[in-house]
Amino acid sequence: MPKKKINYVRPGRVRPTIGVFVGNYHSFHPSRLVERIWARLNEYDVDAHFYLGTESSSFISDPHIRDNYFDYQYSSLYSISNVEDLDAMIVGVGTISIFQKQFEQNGVFTYLPKVPAVFMETPIFGEEKSVVTGNYDGVYEMTEHLIKVHNRKKILMITGPDYNWDSNERLRAYKDALKDNGLEFSEDMVAHGDFSENVDHLVREVLDKNPDADGFISGNDEMAYAIYRVLNERNIEIGKDFSVMGFDDMEFARYMEPALTTCRQKNYEMADAAVDKLIDMLEGRATKLSLLPADVIYRASCGCEYNEDKRAKDIPIETGSHISVQDGNVYERSALLDTVMRIRTSERHSWIGALVLRDLVEAARDPMKFYKNLGEALYYQGAKESYLMVNEKGVIIERGDPPAIPEKMKLMMHQKGEQTEVWHIYDAPESVRGEQVPWYRNDGEGHIFTTFLIFSGKKIYGSLSVEILPEEISFYYMMSLVIGTAIHSLDLTQKQKKYREELQKKNEILDYSASHDALTGLYNRLGCTNRAEVYIDDNPHRDFIVISADLDHLKEINDCFGHKEGDFAIMKASEILTKVIGPGAPIGRMGGDEFYSVVVKDENHVGEDIYKGIKYQCERFNAVSGKPYLVELSVGYMEVPYEDMKSLKESIQRNVDDRLYLDKRSRRCSIQRDAALS
């Protein structure tokens, strides 16, 4: 079926790009919003990016660990949308950064793109832009029902965070209902949870403060599950001795024992209204507040009669609450089939996810291989297309800091089907905030990506965008944590590699300085001795030539012409020796004017030839140097078999030196050119 066109296209584009911002995805309400918005946008010719703050602390029961977790990073995920160049956005205000205490939600919105927007769950950004649920009316009705129908006198409440609009509206309705019905209220009757089921400690605290309580209203169904656990611990019979009510009407609410009275939030109607309102905005039509009533579903937990016959006639789960896509078409699934499919998919992914982490960590020494392995892993996990954006240095965000807004992001990996393309950090395509993204395609098909934050602890590395179905989101969220850990390992490995390379260079410099003469670059005494031993061992059963040489009259050159000229004469002597003896053989400046070398005897190296060669090169230099002095070397040499080299090194050196001194006897009395040649 051809997709519907939206009458809004920016110059240079063939379709609009929509951003969808939802947090706390693992909860019932946000996940249903995402499923429905995804299905509705799939009907249109758009590109869409879902930014899901899939906070993980909701799974942690220890409140101390949860308070010190890193879910505050997800504010930065929303700010990364600035490099996607969006045309419009849908924002789930009530779910954004729901566990973040240090940053008010309004502060997060400051960093979102400045484009037309629809806000779900709160009207604070303008009623014409908003889609909200009747939180107040629903909770007021439930509270009054407990008072008037079940004669409850001390009703407690656990609500959500005190900076959440939905939470505050439900709390306000509860307080007003108590007041309007003549019941007292105190702050000890309320606990502020986080909308997760891991709030048992808060339930216990508020019950301990109110031992005469006979009712409990929960800000959502998940926290009601904790109320059930605690009341069961205390042998309090729900529905008889004590009333409990929730909010949302999650799937499990009707199957709890006893079935939970709750207020049905119309997730799919909210999603439909948000998409319709956004299209109206893009096409220039006027909009107004969309207010969705929240219907109270009375069941046994409040004290109302509830039996199996009534359970079967209970209001059905929302139509279209389970989505699948085949051949581009959206289908509805039964709740049972949906559950079975999710369990099987989760089992398969959990095994493969562990293998992916292993492969990524093993490839951490090679960035190109690392990103290639990542693209291939995503393909085999069913991703139609994916791309990894990385901030070159990463950004450290402390708890309470503003979200990171990277000015530039680099495309390190792009996977499409079986093909994966990767780049080095220095030549990767770059996305600059406010400019067209490098991978945007004016092709004939829209794409819906889900974007996950890539971080490890306090450090944000970038984002991963994947073209997947909504049912795959939970797994890819887990994968994003795995990838964040692996990229952190890659980051550390590269830093360690750089450190080792720098340390090796420093060691090489130190080793060179310790074994080489600073003036000539030849080995010094220690370096030459060590290198000569290795050289001899590397050439077993060969004959050698041991050479000793002195620069004639170095003191006279220094005294008459200065030490600079003396250094020049030493360097020229070293060049002459190197040229005659050749590469490979160790040549050392043993100190002052003394030089030493050992060379294998062969057809190219004979003692007499080396001796004559040194003398010849000195004469050749002196003939053209123009210096007021001569550079001449006294040379002694000795040809020695390998066996003698290994056993008689000291005596050999003495014999060579004796021959050197014999040669010195024939040197000039002076190396000054005028005196030497007169």
Q: Encode pLDDT of 588-619 as tens digits.
A: 998 889 999 999 998 777 889 999 999 999 99
d(CA 394, CA 43): 37
Residue with tokens 């390379």, as numbered in its chain: 501
Residue type, 661: Y
The total of other beta-carbon atoms located within 10 Å of residue 53's CB is 28
Most distant pair of Cα atoms in the chain: their distance: 134
Q: Who has greater pLDDT, 9 or 319?
A: 9
Q: What is the pLDDT of residue 597?
A: 92
Q: What is the pLDDT of residue 568?
A: 94
Mean pLDDT of the region 148-161: 93
Write the CA distances from 16 to 282, 430, 586, integer angstroms. 9, 21, 72
Task: For residue 32, give the nearest of 475, 480, 481, 473 by alpha carbon.
Answer: 473
d(CA 40, CA 271): 8
**In the chain, what are the domains?**
133-270+282-325 (3.40.50.2300), 525-676 (3.30.70.270)
Task: For residue 572, give the nearest of 620, 527, 635 by alpha carbon.
Answer: 620
Q: What is the pLDDT of residue 336?
A: 46
Q: What is the pLDDT of residue 352?
A: 59
- Residue 52: pLDDT band with limits 50, 70, 90: confident
Is the pLDDT at 31 greater than 60? The verdict is yes
Is the pLDDT at 100 greater than 60? The verdict is no
Q: What is the pLDDT of residue 661?
A: 72
d(CA 386, CA 375): 8
Task: For residue 435, give the nearest of 470, 468, 398, 409 by alpha carbon.
Answer: 409
Is the pLDDT at 103 greater than 60? The verdict is no
Two tokens, residue 524: 């010094």
Q: What is the pLDDT of residue 325?
A: 45
**Per-residue pLDDT reduced to its tens digit, 348-396:** 555 555 566 666 666 666 788 888 888 888 888 888 999 898 877 778 8
Q: Who has greater pLDDT, 30 or 343?
A: 30
Mean pLDDT of the region 161-183: 90
- Residue 81: pLDDT band with limits 50, 70, 90: confident
Q: Which one of 120-124, 191-195, 258-262, 438-442 scores highest in mean pLDDT?
A: 258-262
Decide if 523 contacts 596 (C-beta within 8 A). no
Q: What is the pLDDT of residue 62?
A: 52
Distance of CA 475 to the CA centre of its chain: 17
Decide if 105 contacts 134 (C-beta within 8 A). no
Residues 6+ apart with CB under 8 A from 456: 484, 485, 487, 488
Mean pLDDT of the region 525-540: 87
Is the pLDDT at 211 greater than 90? The verdict is yes
Is the pLDDT at 271 greater than 90? The verdict is yes
Q: Indicate the pTM of the whole model.
A: 0.66
**Per-residue pLDDT reduced to its tens digit, 556-595:** 999 999 999 999 999 999 999 999 998 889 999 988 899 9
Two tokens, residue 453: 């934050």
Q: Who has greater pLDDT, 664 or 190?
A: 190
Q: What is the pLDDT of residue 85?
A: 79
Q: What is the pLDDT of residue 324?
A: 45
Task: For residue 220, give the nearest of 77, 31, 86, 427 by alpha carbon.
Answer: 31
Two tokens, residue 456: 């490890």
Q: Which of 275-284, 425-434, 447-456 has the lowest mean pLDDT?
A: 425-434
